[in-house]
Chain A
Amino acid sequence: MFLIYCPHCGEYREEEEFQNRGQAHIARPLDPDSCTDEEWGNYMFFRKNPKGLHHELWVHAAGCRKFFNVTRNTATYEIKEVYKIGEQPKVVA
Chain B
Amino acid sequence: MSQKNRLQSGGRIDRSKPLTFTYNGKQLEGFAGDTLASALLANGVDLVGRSFKYSRPRGIVAAGAEEPNAIMQLGATEATQVPNVRATQQELFSGLVAGSTNGWPNVEMDLMGLVGKIGGKMMPPGFYYKTFMYPQSMWETYEKVIRQAAGLGRSPKEYDPDIYDKMNQHCDVMVVGAGPAGLMAALTAARGGARVIIADEQNEFGGSLLSSKETVDGKAAAAWVASVTKELEANENVLVLPRSTVNGYHDHNFLTIHQRMTEHLADRAPNGQVRARYHRVRAKWVVLATGAHERPLVFANNDVPGVMLAGAVSTYINRYGVVPGNELVLMTTNDNAYRTALDWHDAGRKVQAIVDTRKNPTGPLVEAARERGITVMAGSAVIDVQGSKRVSGVSVASISEDGSKVTGSVKKLSADTVASSGGWSPVVHLSCHTGSRPQWNDEIIGFVPGATVQKQLTAGAINGNFTTSGALEQGKQAGADALEKLGLKAADVAVPATVEIKESKPMALFHIPHTKPTSQAPKQFVDYQNDVTASGIELACREGFESIEHVKRYTAMGFGTDQGKLGNINGMAIAAKFLNQSIPETGTTIFRPNYTPITFGAIAGRDCKELFDPERYTAMHKWHLEHGAKFEDVGQWKRPWYFPKAGESMQEALNRECLATRESVGILDASTLGKIDIQGKDAREFLGRVYSNAWAKLPVGKCRYGLMLKEDGMVFDDGVTSCLGENHFLMTTTSGGAATVLTWLELYHQTEWPELEVYFTSVTDHWSTMTISGPNSRKLLEELTDADVSKEGFPYMDWKPMTVAGVPARVFRISFTGELSFEINVQANYGLHVWEKLFEHGAKYDLTPYGTETMHILRAEKGFIIAGQDTDGSVHPYDLGMGWAVSMNKPFSFIGKRGMKREDCVRSDRKQLVGLKTIDPNIVLPEGAQGVFDPTAPIPMPMVGHVTSSYWSANLGRSIAMGFVKGGLDKMGEKVYYPLVDGRIVEAEICSPIFLDPKGERQNV
Contact = CB atoms under 8 A, between A and B. Distances in A.
Interface in B398-446: 434-435
B252 A3 contact: yes
Contacts of B903: 37
A1 to B, nearest CB: 5
Question: Chain A contact residues (Cβ within 8 angstroms of B): what range?
Answer: 20 to 34
Given A31-B893, A59-B743, A76-B435, A3 B282 contact: yes
Interface in A34-83: 35, 37, 40, 43-44, 57, 59, 61, 65-67, 73, 75-79
Interface in B892-930: 893, 897-899, 901-903
A42 to B, nearest CB: 12
Contacts of A77: 251-252, 434-435, 453
B898 A67 contact: no
Interface in B854-878: none
B711 to A, nearest CB: 6
A2 B898 contact: no
A66 B253 CA distance: 25
Given A40-B898, A66-B750, A85-B751, A76 B743 contact: no
9 contacts: A21-B747, A33-B893, A44-B711, A44-B899, A65-B742, A76-B453, A77-B252, A77-B435, A86-B754
Contact of B747 (A3, A14, A33, A67): A67
B746 A67 contact: yes
A78 B897 CA distance: 39
A79 B750 CA distance: 22
Interface string B742-773: 11001100111010000000000000000000
A10 interface: no
A61 B743 contact: yes
B23 interface: no
B754 A85 contact: yes
A59 B746 contact: yes
Contacts of A75: 435
Contacts of A57: 751
Given A44-B711, A67-B747, A78 B898 contact: no
Contact of A67 (B751, B893, B901): B751
B746 A65 contact: yes
Top 7 nearest A-B pairs (CB, nearest first) are A32-B898, A3-B252, A32-B893, A76-B453, A77-B251, A67-B750, A1-B254
B115 to A, nearest CB: 44
A67 B712 CA distance: 22
A2 B251 CA distance: 6
B250 interface: yes
A90 interface: no
A32 B252 CA distance: 41
Interface string B444-464: 000000000100000000000
Contacts of B898: 32-33, 35, 40
A32 B897 contact: yes
Interface string B251-273: 11110000000000000000000
Given A32-B893, A59-B746, A67-B746, A1 B250 contact: yes
A57 B893 CA distance: 24
Contact of A1 (B251, B747, B897): B251
Interface string A1-22: 1110000000000100001010
Contacts of A37: 902-903
Contacts of B754: 85-86
Nearest to B256: A1
Interface in B671-707: none
A86 B712 CA distance: 24
A87 to B, nearest CB: 12
Interface residues of B, number: 26
A15 B101 CA distance: 39
Contact of B902 (A33, A40, A43, A59): A40
Contacts of A86: 754
A19 to B, nearest CB: 8
Nearest to A21: B747
Contacts of B434: 77
B252 A59 contact: no
Interface of A: 1-3, 14, 19, 21, 27-28, 31-33, 35, 37, 40, 43-44, 57, 59, 61, 65-67, 73, 75-79, 85-86
Contacts of B899: 40, 44
Contacts of B901: 33
A26 B881 CA distance: 32
B230 to A, nearest CB: 33
Contacts of A31: 893
A2 B253 CA distance: 9
Contacts of B752: 27-28
Contact of A85 (B282, B750, B893): B750
Given A31-B893, A75-B435, 4 more contacts: A28-B752, A33-B897, A65-B743, A73-B453
A44 B711 CA distance: 7
Contacts of A59: 743, 746-747
Contacts of A21: 747
Nearest to B248: A1
B254 A3 contact: yes
B894 to A, nearest CB: 9
Interface in B295-351: none
Nearest to A76: B453
B31 to A, nearest CB: 42
A84 B901 CA distance: 33
Nearest to A33: B893
Contacts of B897: 32-33
A1 B901 CA distance: 41
Contacts of B750: 66-67, 85
B712 A44 contact: yes
Contacts of B742: 65
A39 to B, nearest CB: 10
A32 to B, nearest CB: 4
A43 B711 CA distance: 10
B811 to A, nearest CB: 31
A73 B434 CA distance: 13
Contacts of A73: 453
Contacts of B453: 73, 76-78
Nearest to A28: B752
A61 B762 CA distance: 13
B44 to A, nearest CB: 47
A78 B752 CA distance: 28
Contacts of A28: 711, 752
A57 B752 CA distance: 13
A44 B714 CA distance: 13
Nearest to A67: B750
Nearest to A14: B282
Contacts of A79: 252
B998 to A, nearest CB: 35
A75 B250 CA distance: 14
Contacts of B751: 57, 67, 85
B554 to A, nearest CB: 27
A33 B892 CA distance: 10
Nearest to B253: A3
A63 to B, nearest CB: 12
Contacts of A32: 893, 897-898
B422 to A, nearest CB: 34
Among A31, A33, A79, chain B packs the most CB atoms within 10 A around the CB of A33
A66 B743 CA distance: 9
B887 to A, nearest CB: 14
A1 B252 contact: yes
Contacts of A1: 250-252, 254
A31 B253 CA distance: 45
A72 to B, nearest CB: 10
Contacts of A19: 743
A12 to B, nearest CB: 9
Interface string B199-212: 00000000000000
Contacts of A40: 898-899, 902
Among A19, A21, A31, A44, chain B packs the most CB atoms within 10 A around the CB of A44
